[in-house]
Structure 1
Amino acid sequence: MTEHHFPLAAVVGADSLKLALCLAAIDPAIGGVLIEGPRGMAKSTLARGLADLLDGGRFVTLPLGASEERIVGTLDLDAALGQGQARFSPGLLARADAGVLYVDEVNLLPDHLVDLLLDAAASGVNHVERDGISHRHAARFVLIGTMNVEEGELRPQLLDRFGLNLALDGQPQPVERAEIVRRRLAFDASPDAFVQRWQAEQQALATRCQSARQHLAAIALDDVSLGEISQRCFAAGVDGLRADLVWLRAARAHAAWRGAGAIEPVDIDAVEDFVLRHRRRQQAPQAPAATPPERPQAQQSEQPPQQGEGQWGELPAQVQAMGERRVPPRWTKKP
């Protein structure tokens, strides 16, 4: 029995996210997509729908408890013990080649594993040097990570390494919510019929992505576009140069998505928020604290201390003669 994924073309709304996913599929070197949002917002549904648009069509989920060996691959113990051969046993990165690698709650993974995934996603290659083996294989996949910021955040160094970043609206409008539920119920009731119903739209989306991938190399990464992008990155106060490179690649992918022959201002504008959302520094100017006006120092003779100022119960000093007992002026003797 064929397992059907909910078609990406049938997803209600989320147009910006669908565009970002398609751009990452057109050029995986963009570095993947990080989706933020609460649970129950169909993040995994969108990721699975994207896999159907790729040539390989593979969808690989990375479980939270996965070890480094399971991800990158390791020594085949059966071959080593039974045949005395050092043979490579592929991991999840090899399985995800030409498909989608989906990491739910990526912010809960150990930092070194997130770093490893981002390295492979950016380079398209997995290189393993361990256990007496040296192996290199293609790992050209679209990395999609999801996270709920209420459960923890990624370090800025790792956040920056995701190419694109978007946040899903956790409160869609009532009409949109009803349509989302309606389509989900129709898919659950009869996946075959639902997929058939959306086949034309899904096929058109897949054809457009494939055409854009083939057209991508013909679009120049020109200096004019780079100059504009670098100016905007500088104005946004982003650290490093990764934003400039990702933005230029994403703008080129958008131009290919439109079927254009060159990067144009509309392409630069279309991907700006995807690139800068997680990199832009919030530098709201702070007004200097108001300095209270200096109080003039009054002469002691002009403004004598009032009663109750200074130490409690303190009385003015009185001149006393030696051998003479004086009664303080405020005290009176009882008759």
Structure 2
Amino acid sequence: MPDIGDGRKPKTNPLNDNFHKKEFQALWARINKKAVYKVDFDSSELITNCIRVLDKELKVTPLQYIIQAGVQRDNLTDEQLKSGQGFELSNTQGEYHSASAYSGVKYDLVGKLATDTNLTRRTIAAILSKIQPAVFSQFKQNPEHFLAEATRLIKEQKASVIIEKLSYDETDDRYDTDIFTAAQSRQDFSLAGSQLKNHIYDYVITDSNIERDFVAELDTNPDVVVYAKLPRGFLIPTPVGDYNPDWAIAFKEGSVKHVYFIAETKGTLSTLELRGIEERKIDCARRFFEKISGQTQGENVKYDVVTSYSELMDVVGGKVVTN
């Protein structure tokens, strides 16, 4: 059967005239730069830190199976089928798998960790060979969870060691404007609000209430000339994975201290509440924008993390406009 959608909702989200405004083109010209990073760090320090953290924090959950039983409902409707409510749950039971989870599967543990962390096999082998036997034995309980958690912890330590010695070098490569129109199909427009005035698209797909409130205030501020939720294809390379900033904003010249701004919206700025990898990516983004701004003639681009629109206005040096 064909997919029946809501005809009242938009199906596509093309670029509008705001994209061609000189202010957005000036902002895009300043950030449309690719770069490579380089870093020189001490491998022995990284190995020591990883061993300490893995011994302390690596916790692997044994494989658990959830067994559910149910009975198909009488007088089943089409809506119940679509919503996954065709069966009435009668019993739920959890079981743990006590045998070795990898008895029939061969894992290249060293190779997989080396690939996922971008470290050499020698470095990974040095880490694994010195962690406590009880910690290493958790691999038998749940190999996939062991790999995921070990990768996360090693990458966090790697970022901590190298972040202070990280530098970016700009390349001649640039992004094509196609990144603004790629992946336009099958967007979830239920997460889009009303039609916007100053965004480069008519609608914006937001990820949270924080972003929805942020958009509403950006779109009604007369000092904001144009803004954009940066496409997922706009990426900054970092040692812990590519990073995609949230927003690019161009203010009216003379209204604020920083006319061109790149914003990351977060619910909290506490480093204890930001995941380690995410915090490191933000640190790398600061260095990236410092580098490309230093090589730009005219107004520099300011990058920062904000929790709200009012905080954004404090950072750019303007006043919050109230209606």
TM-score by length of 1: 0.20
In our comparison, the structure showing a higher alpha carbon Rg is 1
Q: Which has the higher strand share?
A: 2
Q: Which has the higher helix share?
A: 1
TM-score by length of 2: 0.21
1 or 2 for the larger relative contact order (CA 8 Å, sep ≥6)? 2
